[in-house]
Amino acid sequence: MTFREITLADERIRLLPGGAVFLPDTKTLVVADLHLGKGTSARARGLLLPPGDTISTLEKVLRFVEAHSPQLLISLGDSFHDCQAGGRLLDSERTLLDRITRTADTLWITGNHDALPISGIGGEWLEEYRSGNLFLRHIPSVTIPSGSAELAGHLHPKTRIQSRGHVMSRPCFLTGEERLILPALGTYTGGLDISNSVLSSLFKHKAAAYVWSTDEIHRVA
Amino acid sequence: MSALLIAPTGGGKTLAGFLPSLIELAEGSYAGLHTLYVSPLKALSTNIAESLSRPITDMNLPIRVEVRSGDTSGARRKRQQKNPPHILLTTPESLALLLSYPDASAYFSTLRVLIIDEVHALAGTKRGDQLALCASRLRVFSPSLRVNGLSATVAHPSAMAAWVSPTGQASGVRLVRAEDGVRPDVHVLLPDQRGYLPWAGRTGLGSATAILTEIARARLTIVFVNSRAQAELLFQALWKDNADNLPIGLHHGSLDAGRRAKVEEAMAQGELRAVVATSSLDLGLDWGAVDQIIQVGAPKQISRLTQRIGRANHRMDEPSRALLAPANRFEVLECEAAREAVLRHELDGDPPRAGALDVLAQHVLITACAGPFLPDVMYEEVRQTAPYNQLSRTDFNEIVRFVEDGGYALQAYERHQRLFRDSLGQLWVRNEQIIRQFRMNIGTIVDTPMLRVKSRRGKAYGEIDEYFASTLVPGDTFLLGGELLEFLGLHDTTVQAARSRGKDPRVPVYGGNQLSISPGLARHVREILHAPPSWAVLPKSVQDWLTLQAARSRLPGPENFLVETFPHRGLHYIVAYPFEGRNAHQTLGLLLTKRLEETGKGPLGFVANDYMVACWCVHPTGSMTDLFSRDLLGGNLADWLAESAMLRRTFRDVAIIAGLVERNYPGREKNRRQMTISSDLLYDVLRKYDPDHILLRATRLQAEEGLTDLGRLSGMLDRIQGHIEPVSLSHVSPLAVPVLLEQGREKIRGGDGEDYLLAEADKLYALAEKE
């Protein structure tokens, strides 16, 4: 696994294959938009989706935690698909979640799906967090104070790559001088193309998009 | 006793099916629904209702006939429910919906006769599976029910008889077969301009003037095409050259129902000289005194062509006249082969396959919506139908469990089941909300959602694919119903458009599968290709094309297995010519790309047509004799297959029909929050945590129908050993051009090839930044 390091507001940021971010100076691992419990969220309406999405997402997070041994794990909001999602966790999912929160101090940033803290799980809840020159929050803000930068989620960026007549659509990191938008890590999450004005209007200049192959990070836009 | 009537198209068999009912009803004492007529097309029901009404009114018979379809108003439905007609005409989907209501058992208890029209178009399809299951329900409500099936001439008559039978066995059914008509008169129609034919393409526009000449020579012609887009384009092309102003109409499934009815009426009244039509005119009554049919583009299947030719038989004792107009060079070979096969009275098509499990899941929920059921009883009921005659109890139980709670291995989560069991072991739907929700999901046709197209004043033109609509910007023009329309905007779920004079209109793309050529026809084509003396009947441009192929590369012959390799657009291509039909080639494409991935060639995709298969890689492709060796079939094929785009597409349909996900109705998203999760993601999760789940099994079973059994490919690999003729070229060969222009390319995702392309894109960025 090879990461790619970028610098925002003098802070070193490592983009990891798979869609997470590692801040080496504070040993902080950042993930976004896990949407735990999405698969079971519509069962009351009679929609019985395969419930494996939650365990699959948690396994991904655990692999990042085990590979990078962070002191702090930050989940950038929409960690849970709805405020009742905690109550629907299966025993196996809860076990995995406990393992994660015991391995690293965990900080849950509130999102629009999980605006209120979910009770009964490890870690702390905050609306936003500051790490050095970096602000970490769920929804990207329009203006960012100069000298600082922002890490956010919410928008699930993805991009189309066209080469030699072959077209790929992949989730991606999207970054400019003052911000980085993380891809959604949740198994059942879709994406928003980076050409959409909701995303492109957040950047003064053309944003850089990074996708990952099996074990490397590549800049593709 | 139930009966199956097999007769050539247009023999008047539909009305014959109603005669016994009319006689029984004529005395006027019958109360309640007596006869139910089901056909695959709404338009057919409407048409038959009119045909029946005439003699009923003329003779003043006390018989009420009504139509029930998706278009029937709510008020009329209520009236039909309270005061049932004697004869009700409907479609499989509307019948399934009727059966989901608790009063279905009372409503259908008086039913004596079920008439199923166009059995050949239903048996072996998911709509047919659904109808067979519905018929088994009807028999429970009315045990003495007789079924009268009506079918065009088919290759497997006794399988069709079993399909209409109350026991699923042909023995209980009286089979009535009409005689074949006079041998038809079939010719190949070549385009003007000294017979020049394009390399590829399926529209046949180059034949427009030749077609017009033929139209002018007959009273009434049906010009059959293979797709709605082709119909629109050809209609335009014909009118552009129509100096004599011959009245020519257009008929296809996306036109507004009112417009279609007008065209049908004009045909019946003899006001038209020709109609350009898709399969929308394949079925049903005689629409007029048709003198000849012109099939534009490849006929694909001999049985379908025979049925289309049968449209031109308004004088039973005279031969039907048909012209086959090929749209490209390969199609010339195919038309020639099809012409010979029709004259030999050959029929193709497989016997109906076993019933699909996703349709069964929907049926279980339909039944539960009408009232509680006992699984034991339902299993026996379902097995009385031909499609589910061999259904195992295990599969049935797993389907019921899927409907009940999802049937997942991971499930420790007990709340929110869809069904619950009472102390008698009966299963009930948990609440009304689920029933309401589910009724919107009934039906087995999985189409891309369609949007209505209207003028500002509300005049209806027809409908277009939602995806196509999303690509339009105001000012764009497109063709629909033969009119050039300008896109004004999207209002809720309606496309607003106005007539326009703009240039370069776009043609709406409609979803839908391409028909695959039957294996028999593919074999005939190969025989023509192998025998240069037989080329004399082919137009000069096709002869030149084959001669050029022989000079630049080789011709695939009976003794050699030609494999060409060449660079093209920065990639390395392999093209092989097995002539085994599209399905076999799809499987071969999967096998080849799997092997190429294993050997590090970075395959990016493949495409197959009926004659050949092409795949392409980022790296040079290596030895062809090694690639096409016997052990191409080794290794873990199941996993590679499971990853393929084909299985993902199949799963999407299975998920919708089985009720795992909801249908997408355009505009409904606004009213309530929808759970739209890509079926790809669901598929991946299910494979990872529930590899034996019944819906995955259903998906695999259905995908295997679309792929040739490996036994046949294994035989091919044995045959070609020692005969493989690799030809390395500097660019694409004449014979390979058509496949490179073929639609339906399958991508290989997430492999070495994509990794390589991503790394390459990255390098370009690094270079650009240095400068």
Whether residues B433 and A46 touch (CB distance < 8 A) is answered with: yes
Give per-residue pLDDT as tens, B404-440. Answer: 999 998 765 566 789 999 999 999 999 888 898 888 8
φ, ψ at B121 (rounded to 5°)? -85, -10
Q: In this structure, what are the phi and psi dihedrals at residue B615, rounded to the nearest 5 degrees?
A: -135, 160
**Residues A180 and A21 sit within 8 Å (Cβ to Cβ):** yes
CA closest to B686 among chain A residues: A50
Looking at residue A45, the DSSP 8-state letter turns out to be G
The predicted-structure confidence for B657-677, as pLDDT tens digits, reads as follows: 999 988 766 555 444 445 568
Instruction: Please answer yes or no on whether A52 and B434 come within 8 Å at the CB atom.
Output: no
- Interface probe with B: pick from A56, A60, A164, A169, most Cβ of B within 10 Å: A164
Q: Which residue has the higher pLDDT, A138 or B770?
A: A138
Tokens found for residue B320: 């039907």
User: Can you name the residues that pair with B148 across neighbouring β-strands?
Assistant: B3, B115
Query: Looking at the predicted structure, is the pLDDT value of residue B746 above 50?
Result: yes
With CB atoms and an 8 Å threshold, state whether A52 touches B686.
yes
CB contact under 8 A, B759 and A40: no
DSSP-derived secondary structure for B277-340: E-GGGTSSS--S---EEEEES----HHHHHHHHTTS-SSTTS--EEEEE-SSHHHHHHHHHHHH
Among B85-89, B95-99, B441-445, B725-729, where is mean pLDDT lowest? B441-445
Q: Report d(CA A114, CA B314) in Å as an integer.
A: 70
- For chains A and B, CB pairs below 8 A equal 128
Enumerate residues 55 to 84 of chain A having a beta carbon within 8 A of any beta carbon in chain B: 55-56
Residue of B440, B568, B689, B757 best to disrupt the A interface, most CBs of A under 10 A: B757
Query: With contacts defined as CB-CB under 8 Å, which chain A residues touch B677?
Result: 38, 49, 188, 190
Q: Report the amino acid identity of residue B465.
A: D
B457 pLDDT higher than 50: yes
Closest chain B residue to the Cα of A51, Cα to Cα: B410
Cβ separation A220–B758 shorter than 8 A: yes
Q: Cβ A219–B762 below 8 Å, yes or no? A: yes
Strands (E), B326-434: 419-421, 427-429
A45 touching chain B per CB within 8 A: yes
Q: What distance in Å separates the CA atoms of residue B96 and residue B443, rounded to the nearest whole number?
A: 7
Residues from chain B that touch A40, judged by Cβ atoms under 8 A, are 413, 416
Beta bridge mates, B606: B615, B746
> In angstroms, how far is CA B553 from the centroid of its own chain?
36
Residues A50, B689: C-beta atoms closer than 8 Å: yes
On whether any CB of chain B is under 8 Å from the CB of A207, the answer is no
Q: Which of A50, A88, A220 sits opposite B413 (nearest CB)?
A: A88
Q: Which residues of A touch B693 (CB under 8 A)?
A: 50
Cα–Cα distance measured from residue A107 to residue A76, given in angstroms and rounded to the nearest whole number: 9
Asked if B685 and A168 come within 8 Å (Cβ–Cβ), the reply is: no
A38 touches chain B (CB under 8 A): yes
A157-196 residues touching B, CB cutoff 8 A: 161, 163-168, 187-188, 190
CA distance B572 to B553: 17
The pair of structure tokens assigned to A159 is 């991009």
What tokens does B659 get? Answer: 């009720």
Confidence of residue B512 (pLDDT cuts 50, 70, 90): very low
pLDDT at B511: 46
Please report the pLDDT score of residue B414 as a whole number: 63
Nearest by Cα to B537 from B346, B344, B339, B343 = B339
Q: Do residues B477 and B500 make contact, with C-beta atoms less than 8 angstroms apart? A: yes
- The answer to whether the CB atoms of A166 and B418 lie below 8 A apart is no
ipTM over 0.90: yes
The residue of chain B nearest to residue A161, with distances taken between CA atoms, is B758
- Which position has the token pair 């709404």? B42
CB contact under 8 A, B754 and A166: yes
Contact A43 B604 (CB under 8 A): no
The per-residue pLDDT for B545 is 87
Contacts of B214 by beta carbon, 8 Å cutoff, 6+ apart: B189, B221, B292, B294, B323
Contact B540, B534 (CB under 8 A): no
* Contact at CB, A49 and B682, closer than 8 angstroms: yes
B36: part of which helix (H) or strand (E)?
strand B35-38
Tens of pLDDT, residue by residue over A21-48, are: 999 999 999 999 999 999 998 888 888 9
What is the average pLDDT score of chain B? 86
Asked if B761 and A51 come within 8 Å (Cβ–Cβ), the reply is no
B640 or A14, greater pLDDT = A14
Q: Taking CB atoms and an 8 Å cutoff, what residues of chain B touch A51?
A: 406, 408, 410-411, 413
Angle CA A146–A75–A92, to nearest 5: 175
Tokens of A202: 């957040």
Q: Which residue of B has its CA nearest to A209?
A: B762
Give the mean pLDDT of B682-687.
Answer: 94
* A140: confidence class by pLDDT, cuts 50, 70, 90: very high
A87 touches chain B (CB under 8 A): no
CB contact under 8 A, B661 and A219: no
Distance from CA of B253 to the nearest CA of A (A): 32
What secondary structure does DSSP assign to B128-172, as a single string? HHHHHHHHHHHHHH-TT-EEEEEE---S-HHHHHHHHSSSSSGGG
What tens digit of pLDDT does each residue of A46-90 get?
889 998 999 999 999 999 999 999 999 999 999 999 999 999 999
Question: Is the Cβ pair B569, A39 closer than 8 Å?
Answer: no
- pLDDT > 70 fraction of chain B, expressed in percent and rounded: 91
pTM of the model: 0.88
Residues from chain A that touch B434, judged by Cβ atoms under 8 A, are: 45-46
> Domains in chain A and their CATH numbers?
4-220 (3.60.21)
**Is A53's Cβ below 8 Å from some Cβ in B?**
yes
Tens-digit pLDDT profile for residues B465-477: 776 777 777 888 8
Please, what is the Cα angle at B743 between B738 and B748, to 5 degrees? 110
Shortest CA gap A74–chain B (Å): 25
User: In this predicted structure, what is the pLDDT of residue B285?
Assistant: 61
Task: Say whether A55 and B410 touch across the interface (CB within 8 A).
Answer: yes
Task: Please give the Cα distance from B209 to B682 (Å, whole number).
Answer: 51
Q: Do B329 and B344 touch, CB atoms closer than 8 A?
A: no
